[in-house]
Chains A and B, each alone.
Chain A
Amino acid sequence: MKFLDEYRDRGAAERFAAAIRNITTQPWTIMEICGGQTHTIVKYGIESLLPPEITLVHGPGCPVCVTPLEIIDKAIAIASLPDVIFTSFGDMMRVPGSSKDLLTVRAERGNVRMVYSPLDAVKIAAENPGKKVVFFGVGFETTAPANAMTVWQARRLGLRNFSLLCSHVLVPPAIDALLSSPASRIQGFLAAGHVCTVMGYEEYIPLARKYKVPIVVTGFEPVDILQGLAMAIRQLEEKRTDVENQYARAVRREGNPAARKLLEEVFEVTDRSWRGIGQIPRSGYRLREEFAAFDAERVFDVGGIVAQESPLCIAGEILQGLKKPHECSAFGSKCTPEHPLGAPMVSSEGACAAYYHYGQFRHAAAGQESS
């Protein structure tokens, strides 16, 4: 497939892997922010191509994983109401709330529908004037423009039965929070390419300066990631701390101005709680006052919900890169994709699910047995 195969090419992958081996003189710890990158790393076995000095830690860039339990419980409460059609992206459907997930609500005859595009939810609202249609708007800057467009369109169409349950989060404040933690051992970052296609990468320049870490805006294919790693390691070896753009085929310095303008119009920045990490100041979006009529948290009375996390789940440490999934005592035993205790075991971008599906832990176990 044109524009994809060249980034999954073995020759190119081997060249970048060789370059990394050649330039690495000491141990470095690098975090890939985005869960999509984590999956590529594990799925393609990228760590097996790297020298032992390089440690990759997996970041909090999984929108499903960091959505607070409380919001998921609110989603479940709203989806269980009569006369509601609750719409969501597929991978939010299996994330466990305090007592159940959205798929269970559907099995219990709730009207829960999976959509591929947020605008499909607006279409459903227009077609079902007798129902209240809610879209579960989660994600990073990547999905924010399309979700903003739902309320923008709903207002333009004069729809009174559409609302957005909004739990948007932003990447740069999360990087700031991770690096300001005394426990942080991260020396370089791969920033999430798709987030930067929307927002550009100017916001990352002060972070690279403040914490003296190289940040490389990186794509999602295996060759992208190897090249991004090579660029970050070269900077570390040369003692540079710049923001570089590996993903130049998609990302411009200023991002996508039309999308940013829409975000500005519909959303305002707010403090947000991240599942497993806690409150991060100015790290999310909420709907502006002008769009209050489309805010599901105001349309439905779900204010009193208090959530209870599983005490066994160490998602917070995983999402901050302090621990790897197989270092969790529940991993693969009490916590599996069939019975997840925490969101990282569910999402297609969750680090735990990636380790589980692509068998990193079983490789590790086999290695221990044979040694």
Chain B
Amino acid sequence: MENKPVIDPFAGLSCPIPQSEYATVLLAHGGGGKLTQQLIQKMFVSQFDNELLAPLHDGAVIPLGALRLAFSTDTYVVDPIFFPGGDIGELAVNGTVNDLAMCGAVPQYLSSAFIIEEGLPMEELWRVVLSMKNAARAAGVTLVTGDTKVVDKGKGDRVFINTSGIGVIAPGVDVSPRNARPGDVIILNGNIAAHGMAIMSVREGLAFETQIVSDTAPLHGLVAQILQADPGVHVMRDPTRGGIASALNEIAGSSRMGIAIIEEAIPMTDEVRGACEILGLDPLYVANEGKMLAFVDPASAPRVLAAMRSHPLGKDAVVIGKVVADHPGLVVMKSTIGGMRVVDMLSGEQLPRIC
């Protein structure tokens, strides 16, 4: 009798579900804070573990012969699909373009997959498609493959879009959240929290006197300027969901460095500050879609800052802090009145307060 290796069809089922105090998935598991991280670590990283996934960067960096490719994916479920300053189509292109750019890559090809809810007006889908076309042209990327699914009414929310993308990383460029070093200067390219507050103001029907407009924008051009000024930039990150506080915490965690920032240095418009103030939200945790953080060597910081300021998306670029060897993994901030505090990772959704 032949001794064939037996493949146990139930092997996967014997692997116990990771311990969690949550029997169901909560919305907060998608909030970009600690619960999201726990979900990713316990459910996904533990099972998919490999060295390309391990850095948990915005995209994976894949060596392919002499080339290094950046590969990234993101799904867009924004509600409403049209919002002040943009729409889901533009967001879906810019978001993946930015994730690739944050790996130091030149974004090149995108896929797009649509999950459309039955009943979506054709005219709205058309607007989204045109918007994606324009955004792709502006970002210099080509949409080369895709997929379409339609689900029953009530089983989706108008339209969800997934985009994946690849880009090529130039020789000598090595950008990773693990590369932060003591002394690194942290540069932010402009006013924070506009996207999250733009969405919040329309979603919740909050009528502010002045309209807050999303900052959605493709950052590949700005990144090209930065890499020209300093090909050795250590870390780049676009602080989307979870805001700059979550992005900085992730970098502090990955690099095992401390981060010190200055509250007064972090720019935002008066409209955004006012809206956050009214709702009791901390702008440090509010989403951005056209912002980036660059960690650079102090020697090249003035050059990078000047290069960023010469680009339209970096004209308000400022230094907001630095990397320190003290308190590894922690982000601390000097408050406007001179006190010090820790800027923690958010644990769930930011919830507006009672009074």
Q: Which of B22-30, B91-99, B313-321 faces chain A?
A: B22-30
- Determine the chain A residues whose CB is within 8 A of the CB of B354 once the complex forms: 63-64, 89-92, 138-139, 143, 347, 349
**Closest CB of chain B to A134's CB: distance in Å?**
16
Q: Is the CB of B26 within 8 A of A103?
A: yes
Interface flag for B68 (CB, 8 Å) = no
Q: Is the CB of A106 within 8 A of B280?
A: no
Could you tell me the distance between the alpha carbons of A107 and B27 in the complex, rounded to whole angstroms? 7
Could you tell me the distance between the alpha carbons of A64 and B35 in the complex, rounded to whole angstroms? 22
Q: Is the CB of A359 within 8 A of B279?
A: no
Interface size of B by CB at 8 A reads 36
Q: Which of A41-49, A69-77, A201-209, A233-241 faces chain B?
A: A41-49
**Closest CB of chain A to B269's CB: distance in Å?**
10
| 262-311 of chain B: CB within 8 A of chain A | 270, 273-274, 277, 279-280
Could you tell me the distance between the alpha carbons of A10 and B339 in the complex, rounded to whole angstroms? 10
The dominant DSSP class at the B interface is loop
> Of the candidates A44, A114, A138, which one forms a contact with B352 in the assembled complex, judged by CB atoms under 8 Å apart?
A114
Q: Is the CB of B352 within 8 A of A338?
A: no
Q: Mark A53-96, 1 if CB is under 8 A from B, else 0.
A: 00000000001100000000000000000000000011111100
**Given A114-B352, A138-B354; A338-B340 close (CB under 8 Å):** no
Q: Is the CB of B353 within 8 A of A349?
A: yes
**Closest CB of chain A to B168's CB: distance in Å?**
40
**Closest CB of chain B to A2's CB: distance in Å?**
9
Interface flag for B38 (CB, 8 Å) = yes
- Determine the chain B residues whose CB is within 8 A of the CB of A63 once the complex forms: 354-355
| 188-241 of chain B: CB within 8 A of chain A | 204, 206
**Closest CB of chain B to A243's CB: distance in Å?**
22
- Residue ID in chain A nearest B21 by CB atoms: A339
Q: Is the CB of B351 within 8 A of A114?
A: yes
| 103-146 of chain A: CB within 8 A of chain B | 103-104, 106-108, 114, 116, 138-140, 142-143
**Closest CB of chain B to A363's CB: distance in Å?**
7
- Determine the chain B residues whose CB is within 8 A of the CB of A89 once the complex forms: 352-354
Interface flag for A36 (CB, 8 Å) = yes
- Determine the chain B residues whose CB is within 8 A of the CB of A104 once the complex forms: 24, 26
Q: Is the CB of B344 within 8 A of A356?
A: yes
Q: Mark B341-355, 1 if CB is under 8 A from A, else 0.
A: 110100110011111
**Given A104-B24, A116-B204, A362-B330; A222-B353 close (CB under 8 Å):** no
- Determine the chain B residues whose CB is within 8 A of the CB of A300 once the complex forms: none
Could you tell me the distance between the alpha carbons of A357 and B274 in the complex, rounded to whole angstroms? 22
Could you tell me the distance between the alpha carbons of A107 and B344 in the complex, rounded to whole angstroms? 26
Interface flag for A150 (CB, 8 Å) = no
- Residue ID in chain A nearest B338 by CB atoms: A10
Among B332, B337, B340, B341, chain A packs the most CB atoms within 10 A around the CB of B337
- Residue ID in chain B nearest A336 by CB atoms: B347
Interface flag for A14 (CB, 8 Å) = yes
Which A-B residue pairs are the 8 nearest by beta carbons?
Answer: A45-B339, A359-B342, A90-B351, A337-B347, A13-B337, A90-B352, A358-B341, A348-B353
8 extra interface residue pairs, beta carbon distance < 8 Å, beyond A43-B335, A108-B24, A338-B347: A4-B277, A9-B336, A45-B338, A48-B340, A49-B337, A90-B353, A94-B351, A142-B355
Q: What would be 19 A-B contacts, judged by CB atoms less than 8 Å apart?
A: A14-B337, A14-B338, A42-B341, A46-B337, A46-B339, A90-B352, A90-B354, A94-B348, A94-B351, A103-B27, A103-B348, A114-B351, A139-B355, A336-B347, A337-B34, A337-B348, A338-B34, A349-B353, A359-B330
